[in-house]
Structures are given as structure tokens and as C-alpha cells.
Structure 1
């Protein structure tokens, strides 16, 4: 589809071009004639400003006050203090990033110009930047990565609280202000429409799809191959809602209850929980079976992924995870790998027959599923081939990005219709 090119300012509270979804969207828009500017967080070794693949990128220093982890180890007083620190940390960091984006966006408006702001949540408070520029005729696109109220409930277990209502308010404000909303799957689209009472024709589903020019098999890591055992792997964020603690306990069951020592698990990624997960691995006596890479370059990631026999998706059932889609699942499939996952609705939609599904949050069953796949290489090959075919026929970014272009066609076509009506 040919779209009318325009000027887009993207806002994202993560590293760019490190965030796969944001990178794919930005580069696709550039390839289709759009001028794209990005305001993001600055990672180690990154420049405050540079042009990345035609994308003018401004980077802000990260502000971190407290660790964002619930703490149940102490008295009620200390748990309350921990919650205050967590909430205070988020409020301060989100306020800082939102205000910093506002300031830099004003600079960009004068230096480079833009017609639309494309905000990737969280935080949903970026709607403030969109609302300000709406006063000057700019459009607003809300890219709904996470359901913030469900994310908060999944991390901290609090449903009816001031924070939940606060998050619901900003979610609704973002969707109401948006000229176009982008959802990662049909579940999110339904929630956007029904919970926030917005028109169905302005919500577009742009699924997480792997860029096959980037995610592709390479030569495996020689050191892993030399181990002569089944190589398991995880790729992705390591935050409280991501289920790495479930995975480690499943690996403990695999090693000590099922008496399997013929495996080694590579855990790729970083996040708020990384230090705690490393400590948990020691506590569970898994030092000889797991390796945390931390954040690594793409070349190393592909080498490790290419070495894996089985890929793991331990996201537990939760208000957020039950309706979410993760790019790691389709990246596993793009590498032709079989998957073990808890049985969640949207994971089934993505992975289909490429995964073995076990009862949600059942660590022992998760371990048994891994054990069975270790012993069945023919099934692993069949599952991997099925997933690879699904990616190539339905889920690769070249296909899923068509809805992104449709969303922008809708955004600027509406502008053209208004101009035509005014001329008449």
C-alpha cells in the first residue's frame, strides 16, 4: 500500500534502536518515505544524538531512584515503605521522562518539524506531550505495548487502588486523544475499544513480527556445542512479571527431581529482576546449569539462539500475561526452535503447534515438558519447522507491518479529506 509520507516524532522510554518493535516501526516508516525522529533513553556508549538508518535519534539520560521490585521479606512496615519507594520511583521517573520529552519535542518542532507524535507506552503519561502539541495541530498516535493497570496488578497484586485508577485514567486519556491507536494483538484491541469506549475503526493491530533480515540462524556457539548436552534458552526482559523465577524453579525440578543433568540453560536479557534471579539460581543450586548473559549485542544473541535445542517462555498466567504477546516467541519461531510455554491465550495464537503448552504456573509440568522434548529430537524438528513456516507465511515483520502502513494511511488520509472539504 502506498501511503502519504509525513513527519513523525516517536517517544519511547527504552533504548533505541535496541527495542525491536520500535526499531521495526521506525525503520519501516523511513523506508516508506516518512521523516522519523525518535526520543528515547540513552544506553551505555550511545550518543546523545545521532542518525540511525535515516532516523534522527535524541537520547535522554536514564533516571533511576529505586529498584522496582515488591519486597515480601520484611515486616508490614518495611513492605509499606517498599511500596512507597516503588510508586515514588515510577512517578518520579515517568514524570521526568515525560517532561524531558516535552522539552526536547519543542526543540524538534523548531529544528526538524513533525506532523504527528507516535507515543509508545509505558508510560501512558506521554499523552501530556501529545496533548500539548495537539494545540498546534499535531496528530497523536498511541502505540499500546502494555496494559498499564494490568502490569501494575501483575507486579504488585493490587487491583482497587489509587495507582490503578491513576493508570486507567491515563490509558483512557491516551486512547481518547489518539487519532490512531495501535494494539499488539486482538485482545488488546478489544480492551481498547470496550474498556475505553473508542471507535473501532481507529484501532489497528500491528503484531510483533521478527525482521528476518536481522533474526536468522547463524553458526552456533562452539563452547555451547562442546557441552554435549541439551541447550535450553530464554530471550527477553527479566522483570517480576516475566516468570524467570518460575523457570528457575522448573529447572531445579528438572535437575533434582527428574534427575536430569544433561542440560544447560542460557538466559539472555536484562531487567529489574536480574540480580535477584542470579541469587535465586545460586539458592536453587543451579550454578552448573544456567548462564545469565545480561544485555549482549545482536551477533552474540543470534549465536546463542542458534545453539539452542529448546526455547522457553515462562510467562505465568496473570492479568497482563493472559492477553499479551511477546516478540521473543515469534523470534524463537523465526529461528526454527521448539518452545515450551504456559498455556496462555495469545501465546497459542502466535505459536500454534510450535509450542508445547502446560498448565499455567505449574513448574513441575513445565519441567516434565522440557524433559520429554529433550528425549524427542524428531518432535523438536517438526515443531521448529511448523513455527518457521508460520513466521514466513503470516508473522514476519514484512507481513505484520502492513497494518502499520494502513494505520498511517488512515491517519493522513483523514487529514487529506478534511483539507478537501475545507477547499470545497
Structure 2
């Protein structure tokens, strides 16, 4: 294989900061460990602080736009991000020639940038995490057909202007192929947890007895970004059934994370009188997240998106936590045999299965062992990152064969943070 160590890989991410992007954090660590110089253009956030001094990484931050809460709000958010990202990307390439440009999507709006980058000899890697038409349809009860056609068109333009793609499951891979991507250049890289960090979480001091988790005989948890398409309100409805209607005041519900729906969810909890049994620890670092998950008894997921492989489910399984979720395609592929799946949208059955599992410690332990083994043997990041690094290496090899010019003096400079 061509020696590709020391190449410059630049990454652009729009919708969250680097620190909040669990997948990108793992990718950056893998790239740096492989000897590449890595630059990430991302939203400025206090949580990015540890990454500003990460060896081999140049962090280029911009002021975060206002998160969109409507269609036009999202358009303004994306346009503002592009306006702030593109000049930084141009300056970066002038200072230290980019070998591979990775775009984290959605949104599918970077194809003019990637088309120009390819004309300049830069290899473009697409990391597709979600599908915009499906997300749009989940967010709105009657999505306009014209808007969906536009979103599908954007997918085709994206695939016409990249050199390779990685994505999180087979469903998304098939969609990218349907959008015009070459099958041999689209690879599945699942987003499993890092085994080493799961190990550190097990070795860490357990949550204190005085914590909210320990105030209940049983705890149900949900973790992730609280977007409208994630239907976290169904978790609150499950809590209402379990605690209020069925009298299980011994059960607590721990909803970990943040996002556009957080304030609405807090208001919903207060209006339903569930404040004593439902709480929001906020966004947690990875090891702290695993500690909290390991202190719970059951993990829950209420997404109705068949194309989404829920990262939260892999995190539940990684700590040996059984899953109760709606029976949708990618959730089934991930968790069948390691959890209980119910008819999508049937909140009452979801709640009954949660209670049944809470009251059956033997079944919880069995499902937890199945899930933990599946992560360790197949889905952990250590099993997945080899495909990712091989894809990057292949693009760098193609780039070096076509552009045999010497590297700039910037190649010798260590990574450094930048707020330009």
C-alpha cells in the first residue's frame, strides 16, 4: 500500500460542535493516530476546549448560527454556517494544501464547494449520517412534495461531486447508490462505542448513592440529541403511564442530552406532574455518559425512522443495558435478540414492556449479555475504524499519484487551534 502517513485531512461539520459529534471525535482520533495532520472547521463551543490542544489537530472555529426551529430557520442556519465555513476552508487550503476534504452531512448543500475542491485536485470524502428527505418528513406531518423533490435532487448533486462515501448502515448505503453513487466507493462504517472508553467507565467510581439515579428502585434512560424527529415526547408519555396511571412511583426516567426540544420536554414534564420522576442531566462527556447508562436498568428509544441506526442503542448495549424500542428496520438489525421491539407508535405497549423488563432481572441480564457481546465482537469502533482509515488512505493514495508536487512547509507544523 502507498505510504500515506502525514497527509492533510480537513473536515467540515455544520450542525454541532466537534466535541458534541461523537462520531467525528472518534474519526479525528483515528486519523491523528494514523499520523495524518487533521483540521476541523466547526462551531465554536466551550466543550471544544480539550480538542484545541489535541496533538496533530488544528481546530478552526466559527461563531455558531442560531439553530433553526422551522424550515426557513434551518435554511438561515445552513446559509450562515456556509458563509462562515467557506472562507476558513479557502484560507486553510492556501496555508496547507488539503489532500482529503471530509464533509459531514446533512445538510446536502456542500456540492458547489466539493466540485471546486475536486477541480483543485483535492479528494472529497462524504460522511453521510442522516437522510435529509426522511428527516424532513419526520419533522412535519404533511411535508411539501416539492420540498422533498428538492432534497432528493440535492442528494444526487452531492453524489456527483464526491470521490467516496462512508455511511452508518446498509439502508443509507443503498440510498446513496440510488442517488448515483458508485457502489464500490460507498462503505458502511458503523458508529459503535470505543471499547477502551467503555472499560474506563467500568473502572471509574460508580455514581454516588445520593444521585438521582440511586433514588429509585429502577431507572429507565434515554440519551442523545433531542430533535423533533427523535420523538422524545413518547418517552415522557411512557413515564406518565408508568408513574401516574400505573402507580409505579419507584421508577425514575433519566433523559440525557440536549437539543432543540429540551425546553419543550421540560415543560411537558412539569405540566404532567412528573418532575419528581423525570430528570435531565444535560449533555455528558463520553465516559460520564457510560457511567450514567450503566447505573440504569433499561434503555429506551422512540425513533420511528427506519433508516436510522440509533447510536444510543449501541451505547446501551455496550454497557450491558437491554433495549426497549419501536420495531423499525435499522433498530431491528442492530438490537434483535438484545432487546424488546414493539409496534412503532404503540406507546402503551412500549410502557408495558419496559415495566415487564424492570420486574424481570434474569431477562434483563440475559439481554444485556447478548448486547454487550455483539458490541465487542462486531459493532465497536475498534472493529469499524479500519474501514474508515482504509477509505481515507485510498483517497490519499489517488491524490499523491496524481499530484507528485512537494508538500508545503506547513506540513511540518504541529496542529494548533485557530479562531480565524
TM over 0.5: yes
Q: CA deviation at 1:160?
A: 4.2
Give, in whole Å, the separation in 2 of the partners of 1:329 and 1:55: 30
Give, in whole Å, the separation in 1 of the partners of 2:208 and 2:345: 31
Q: Please tell me the root mean square deviation across aligned C-alpha atoms, in Å.
A: 2.1
Which residue matches 1:28? 30
Give, in whole Å, the separation in 2 of the partners of 1:19 and 1:336: 23
Partner of 1:63, secondary structure, is coil
Q: CA deviation at 1:224?
A: 3.7
Q: CA deviation at 1:46?
A: 4.5
Q: CA deviation at 1:251?
A: 1.4
TM-score, scaled to structure 1 = 0.88
Which residue matches 2:408? none
- CA deviations over 1:137-194 (Å, ceiling 9, x no partner): 1111111111011111110134443332332222211111110011110010011112
Answer yes or no: is 1:288 the counterpart of 2:276.
yes
Write the mapping of 1:132-211 to structure 2, written as runs, cut at 5 A: 132-194=116-178, 196-211=179-194
Partner of 2:159, secondary structure, is helix
> Is the 8 Å Cα contact of residues 133 and 148 (structure 2) preserved in structure 1?
yes
Answer yes or no: is 1:271 the counterpart of 2:265.
no
Give, in whole Å, the separation in 2 of the partners of 1:211 and 1:48: 18
> Is the 8 Å Cα contact of residues 48 and 59 (structure 1) preserved in structure 2?
no
Which residue matches 1:4? 4
Give, in whole Å, the separation in 2 of the partners of 1:212 and 1:282: 37
Which residue matches 1:52? 54
> Is the 8 Å Cα contact of residues 3 and 32 (structure 1) preserved in structure 2?
no
Give, in whole Å, the separation in 2 of the partners of 1:192 and 1:394: 23
Q: Measured at CA, do residues 401 and 46 of structure 1 come closer, stay the same or move farther in structure 2, by a change above 3 Å?
A: closer
Q: Measured at CA, do residues 207 and 46 of structure 1 come closer, stay the same or move farther in structure 2, by a change above 3 Å?
A: closer
Please point out which of 196, 204, 207 is paired with 1:220: 207
- CA deviations over 1:345-404 (Å, ceiling 9, x no partner): 111211232211111111000100011011100111111111111111001101011210
Q: CA deviation at 1:334?
A: 1.0
Please point out which of 345, 369, 379 is paired with 2:363: 379
Which residue matches 1:261? 249
Give, in whole Å, the separation in 1 of the partners of 2:180 and 2:378: 30
Give, in whole Å, the separation in 1 of the partners of 2:136 and 2:339: 28
Q: Measured at CA, do residues 269 and 373 of structure 1 come closer, stay the same or move farther in structure 2, by a change above 3 Å?
A: same
Q: CA deviation at 1:260?
A: 1.6
Give, in whole Å, the separation in 2 of the partners of 1:188 and 1:61: 31
Partner of 1:353, secondary structure, is coil
Give, in whole Å, the separation in 1 of the partners of 2:146 and 2:374: 43
Write the mapping of 1:55-66 to structure 2, written as runs, cut at 5 A: 55-64=57-66
> Is the 8 Å Cα contact of residues 121 and 399 (structure 2) preserved in structure 1?
no
Answer yes or no: is 1:19 the counterpart of 2:6.
no
Q: Measured at CA, do residues 352 and 148 of structure 1 come closer, stay the same or move farther in structure 2, by a change above 3 Å?
A: same
Please point out which of 106, 112, 115 is paired with 1:122: 106
Give, in whole Å, the separation in 1 of the partners of 2:131 and 2:125: 16
Partner of 2:20, secondary structure, is coil
Please point out which of 393, 396, 400 is paired with 1:409: 393
Moved more, 208-217 or 140-149: 208-217
Q: CA deviation at 1:199?
A: 1.3
Give, in whole Å, the separation in 2 of the partners of 1:36 and 1:354: 37
Which residue matches 1:97? 81
Give, in whole Å, the separation in 1 of the partners of 2:184 and 2:331: 25
- CA deviations over 1:42-63 (Å, ceiling 9, x no partner): 1136469933242211111111
Partner of 1:142, secondary structure, is strand
Moved more, 128-137 or 364-373: 128-137
> Is the 8 Å Cα contact of residues 49 and 59 (structure 1) preserved in structure 2?
no
Which residue matches 1:328? 312
Give, in whole Å, the separation in 1 of the partners of 2:239 and 2:343: 16
> Is the 8 Å Cα contact of residues 224 and 307 (structure 1) preserved in structure 2?
no
> Is the 8 Å Cα contact of residues 221 and 304 (structure 1) preserved in structure 2?
no
Q: Measured at CA, do residues 181 and 323 of structure 1 come closer, stay the same or move farther in structure 2, by a change above 3 Å?
A: same
Please point out which of 335, 344, 352 is paired with 1:360: 344
Number of residue pairs the alignment of both structures matches? 397
- CA deviations over 1:112-161 (Å, ceiling 9, x no partner): 33112100012211223222322311111111111011111110134443
- CA deviations over 1:229-253 (Å, ceiling 9, x no partner): 1011111011111121111111111
- CA deviations over 1:186-243 (Å, ceiling 9, x no partner): 010011112x122101101111111122233341342245424101111101111112
Which residue matches 2:232? 244
